[in-house]
Amino acid sequence: MSELQSVLLLKKQLTELHKNPVEGFSAGLIDDNDIYKWEVLIIGPPDTLYEGGFFKAHLNFPKEYPLRPPKMKFVTEIWHPNIDKSGDVCISILHEPGDDKWGYEKASERWLPVHTVETILISVISMLADPNDESPANVDAAKDWRENYPEFKRKVARCVRKSQEDM
């Protein structure tokens, strides 16, 4: 796939999201002159610890998109087992395509070119509601989740409050 094709595909997905917004997030370009750098705002999903929060993240697409996945990084502080302390999101569908050299994931769980910005963000919202503490990016958050849930809830509530203040 050529760079021109990735540009056209990303423009099409952006237009589609603006015409038909999806509940739970909004997306746009960080800089109108760079289709490869997006900013998204994820609204904390209802009936989760993240409810009421406004979490900003960046999606950085490679020129080889959709053959390779984007990288996603939260710029709003967030406490979650699958988001490392610097904000990088660790979720199967954002892992490079093909077999996992460590054998944790099937190729079908990893990046596939059929994924769109919408499917990525819906997966991330789902991940907020249901963390995978078996393969954590933030070991401390996973430990809190498993062993000290009240402390986990307290740290998430602090992030939610801070996200509301930053809006």
Strands (E), the chain: 25-29, 37-43, 54-60, 71-74
Q: Is 90 a catalytic residue?
A: yes
For 53, left (φ over 0), alpha (ψ -120 to 50), or beta? beta
Domain ranges of the chain: 5-166
Residue 48 DSSP SS3? coil
Catalytic residue, chosen from 40, 89, 90, 94, is: 90
The CA distance from 129 to 112, in Å, is: 23
What is the tens place of the pLDDT at every residue in 12-48? 999 999 999 999 999 999 999 999 999 999 999 999 9
Q: How many helices (H) and strands (E) does the chain have?
A: 4, 4
What is the tens place of the pLDDT at every residue in 93-143? 999 998 877 777 888 889 999 999 999 999 999 999 999 888 899 999 999
Q: What is the pLDDT of residue 1?
A: 61
Tell me if the pTM is above 0.85.
Answer: yes
The CA distance from 71 to 63, in Å, is: 12
Say which CATH class 5-166 falls into: alpha beta
Contact 63, 47 (CB under 8 A): no
**Edge to edge, what strands does the sheet with 25-29 contain?**
25-29, 37-43, 54-60, 71-74
